[in-house]
Amino acid sequence: MDDYVNKEVVEIDKVIEENQNGAMRRVTTETHPSGPDGSGIRLYGMVAVSFGMLCVLQVALNISHRLESDCLTEERDQQQREKDDFMEKFSNPGWNKFESCWYFVSSERKTWSESRQDCVERGADLVIVNSREKQRFLFALNKRAWIGLTDRETEGSWKWVDGTPLITSYWIIDQPNNGRSVSTFPGEDCVVLRNGQDQPEKTWNDINCAQKHIWICEMCNNNLL
């Protein structure tokens, strides 16, 4: 009877051992596949692809940063060149600085359109009077000169050369009158500063744009000052 029991125990132990060995072999096979279609190889492939994508992304970022740096450098160089040109232009005689702008008073006489064209060629435009302080500055020049105000597009609708409408004005008394009192110059659509006035804020006069006067150019470039 004892021999029979011992034999059964041995058989059971053998089965358990075989099951354990089989499980170990399955784990080993699943972890380290021997075939080309094993999940381990696929995992390694995915890691390699991911690493490659990271490398490509890093290269792209490096190129982007370099391009951005080059653009910033070029922008700084361009701003410096513009500043140098700006300062060189206004270091010449004829330009006067007031607040953040520069002003050029011509020595010759031209029509309003010709005067404006000269200002444009200088990188400026006819002066725009948009503050009481600037009006007083121009008054102190004591010049009969064109400014950048006209109603040539629509009679009575005064606009500055930059297209903004007139808000605050400094007309001489009874002006503008569109030349009603001067029959030889019908239609007065452009504005000059009248010199010899005793009131700084009453110096504007509308006259015919074909008359010839000196003019005042204005250049404002706050970013470069």
Q: Which of 18-32, 86-100, 166-180 has the lowest mean pLDDT?
A: 18-32
The pTM assigned to this predicted structure is 0.59
Which pLDDT tens digit goes with each residue over 90-128? 555 689 999 989 999 999 999 999 999 999 999 999 999
Which pLDDT tens digit goes with each residue over 135-170? 999 999 999 999 999 999 999 999 999 999 999 999
Q: Give me the residue label for tokens 């060149």.
A: 81
CA 149, 151, 157, 162 dihedral sign is negative
Q: How far is the C-alpha of 109 from the C-alpha of 215, rounded, in Å? A: 7
Q: How many domains does the chain have?
A: 1
Residue 139 pairs with which residues in a beta bridge? none
In terms of Cα–Cα distance, which of 118, 84, 125 is closest to 102? 125
Q: What's the mean pLDDT in 47-76?
A: 78
Look at residue 23 and tell me if it is in a domain. Answer: no
In terms of Cα–Cα distance, which of 127, 143, 146, 133 is closest to 196? 143
How many residues can be counted in the chain?
225
The pLDDT of residue 92 is: 57
Q: Can you give the residue range of the structural domain that contains 104?
A: 98-224
Look at residue 166 and tell me if it is in a domain. Answer: yes
Look at residue 177 and tell me if it is in a domain. Answer: yes
Q: How far is the C-alpha of 128 from the C-alpha of 164, rounded, in Å? A: 10
Q: What is the DSSP string of 173-206?
A: TT---TTTT-TTS----EEEEPSS-S-TT--EEE
Q: Give me the residue label for tokens 């102190």.
A: 140
Q: Which two tokens stand for residue 135?
A: 């009006």
Cβ partners under 8 Å of residue 79, min gap 6: 223, 224
The pLDDT of residue 180 is: 61
Look at residue 213 and tell me if it is in a domain. Answer: yes
Please work out, in degrees rounded to the nearest 5, the angle formed at the alpha carbon of residue 185 by the alpha carbons of 184 and 189: 170
Residue 219 pairs with which residues in a beta bridge? 102
Look at residue 120 and tell me if it is in a domain. Answer: yes
Cα distances (angstroms) measured from residue 80 to each of 16, 29, 83, 86, 87: 86, 70, 5, 10, 10
Helix H or strand E segment including 159: strand 159-160
Domain of 220, CATH number, reads: 3.10.100.10
The pLDDT of residue 98 is: 94
Look at residue 17 and tell me if it is in a domain. Answer: no
